[in-house]
Structure 1
Amino acid sequence: MAARKTLEDLFIHDLSDIYSAEKQLTRALAKLSRAAANTELSKAFETHLHETEGQIERIDKVVEICGVRLKRIKCVAMEGLIEEGQELVDEIEKGPVLDAGLIGAAQKVEHYEISAYGTLCALGKQLGREDAVKLLHETLEEEKATDQKLSQFAEQIGNPQAKKA
């Protein structure tokens, strides 16, 4: 693995890492959608899958704007978060309790992404890459909105149904 000696190196590494994370997430969201018993939750995962595909396209634009090359790395943090979600699917019967667990697992993913994009925005500002920061900030706001939707879903539907189960 190449050494990260400069802010630019760190920016490229973090961009490569979130690219890997988003790619992994596209595969996981389809599984989460199928695992969810609640149709609204299932649709929410499908909607986020389409949003994630757009976020990957946005990263491609950032790469183009910055004239950098992504590193071929695997985001181990996302791999672990996805594995945790898969464990829920494997261990809990399909229904309200699993749905509550899936919401929690999805929020862990969102919180990771929020921190990753926040860091990228800060690094991009330091490097004077305002065009890239604009795109990264757009994704950051989408991740925050998704987290809000998941919280509302958990409070209004997911957790109350799981409590009754």
Structure 2
Amino acid sequence: MALRPRPPPARHCDRAGRYSLYSSGVTNENYLRGIQVADSTGRVAFTSIYPACYSGRWPHIHFEVYSSLANAAGGAGPIRKTSQIALPESISRTVYASATGYAQSVANMNRITLASDMVFGDDLAAREMATVTGSVSAGYVASLAITVDPSKTESSGGGPRPSA
């Protein structure tokens, strides 16, 4: 059994819906993952591509919150919060129809709803839906305020469900 590096606190799939380290064809690659230290107001920022909509999942970004950079980088925890950021349908459809490499996402968006998503289906992403501003040409900014209880610990949400 091969050991894989622990996924860092923020990760998402590529334009083809693949997760590096997990999905077939990219298990030896490590991309679209990152660690950021929050500023004095508790904010973090990542610059990335727009994640695909892969079969069975609404467009999203995974994240974990740790109490320190050392805990996040080492992956030893404790994890203070594990969740996902859902992306709005109208923005996702605009990106997928306008940007190169998202043809499969167009088809997948036609087959998925928030209600049928295995994570967001319980509350239609009421606490996980980002506010997104911007454009395809200028780029987008997704914002989501989350609550983190610094005394609470969680188990990792694990890796993403493998996709094609």
With structure 2 as the length reference, what TM-score do the two structures score? Answer: 0.27
Q: Which structure's CA Rg is the greater one?
A: 1
Choose between structure 1 and 2: higher helix proportion: 1
